Amino acid sequence: MPDLRDCATPQPLFLTTRWSMVLEARNKESSGSSHALESLCQSYWYPLYVYIRRQGHAAHDAQDLTQSFFARLLEKDYLQSAAREKGRFRTFLLVATKRFLLNEWDKIRTQKRGGTYVIVSLDEEMAERRYRAEPLDTLPADEVYDRRWALTLLEQAMTRLRGSYIASDREAEFDYLKTFLTADRNDIPYQGIAESLQMTEGAARVALHRLRKRFRRFFREVIADTVSNPEEVDEEVRYVVSILSHD
């Protein structure tokens, strides 16, 4: 797991997040809120798919339920209850899914798959392949969901980090340095890094420091996208880090 120390350090600038924009636009008057919500759903459907599978639903049924839940979330009034869930998209999605499974499963079974909804795209084959690789046997469904949520945020932060290096034509540097994100600072072979990247040892130290700092920034950003105000970011960072630390 990448070095997440200091990720909860307060930052001087907080941009309006996608989830906060959705919360502020529950009255549906903003076209941007619909796009933001769809983007969030595209990013975070897999943790819910894992949760639904862990509830005992077969793969095909879990795919139907995941698709139907997000379709209804995008087109109906589920957001009206979002304020009661403390503004965290993670919590809102799980609570809304539990209500959906309790109230809607019988209806879904009697309807044509997908109905007429504009459904959030999910790769069903990939979803089941990933699910079968999950170490889920001893974990309660809620913990499974939180674990996969945390790993999804981590993956998104790494994707953004890699993209920033590709944009500056330094992909090779990223691919080499990323293995040291998890290393204890006292165990990092700076001289070997310098030789491999053909730079001085001082430059190698700076390069790895910048990589870690940039990762922490992206990690905070992806978490900020899922809470409704800046006061919640640090708490959510600490929670996600605690989950990842158990892996």
Confidence at residue 82, expressed as pLDDT on a 0 to 100 scale: 64
Q: Is the pLDDT of residue 157 over 60?
A: yes
Over residues 112-133, the pLDDT tens digits come to 454 544 445 566 667 777 777 7
List CB contacts of 154: < 8 A, sequence separation 6 or more: 1, 2, 219, 244
- Provide the 10 A C-beta neighbour count for residue 3: 17
Distance, CA of 83 to chain centre: 20
Cα separation of 235 and 242, whole Å?
11
pTM for this one?
0.83
Average pLDDT over residues 172-195: 94
Which residue from 246, 222, 238, 225 is spatially nearest to 155, judged by alpha carbons? 222
* Helix, coil or strand: residue 170: coil
Average pLDDT over residues 133-162: 88
Over residues 24-68, the pLDDT tens digits come to 777 666 667 888 888 888 889 999 999 999 998 988 888 889 988
Q: Is the pLDDT of residue 177 over 90?
A: yes
Confidence at residue 20, expressed as pLDDT on a 0 to 100 scale: 83
